[in-house]
A = this chain, B = another copy of it.
Amino acid sequence: MRPFFHPSIDDVQPEAILHALSDPNRAAIFVNIMRAGGIQTCSAVSALGDRVIPKSSLSNHFKVLREAGLIRSERHGVEMRNHPRFADVEARFPGLLPAIITAYASNVVEDSRETAE
Contacts and interface: CB of A to CB of B under 8 A. Distances in A.
Contact of A14 (B15, B93, B104): B104
A27 B13 CA distance: 13
Contacts of A94: 99, 102
Given A99-B96, A102-B95, A22 B27 contact: no
A58 B95 CA distance: 30
Binding site secondary structure of chain A: helix
Q: Assembly of this chain: how many copies?
A: 2
A59 interface: no
Contacts of A18: 18-19, 21-22, 100
Interface of A: 10, 13-15, 17-19, 21-24, 27, 92-96, 98-100, 102-104, 106-107, 110
24 contacts: A13-B107, A14-B27, A14-B100, A14-B103, A14-B104, A15-B23, A15-B27, A15-B104, A18-B18, A18-B22, A18-B100, A19-B19, A19-B22, A22-B22, A93-B99, A93-B102, A94-B99, A94-B102, A95-B98, A95-B102, A96-B99, A96-B100, A99-B99, A99-B100
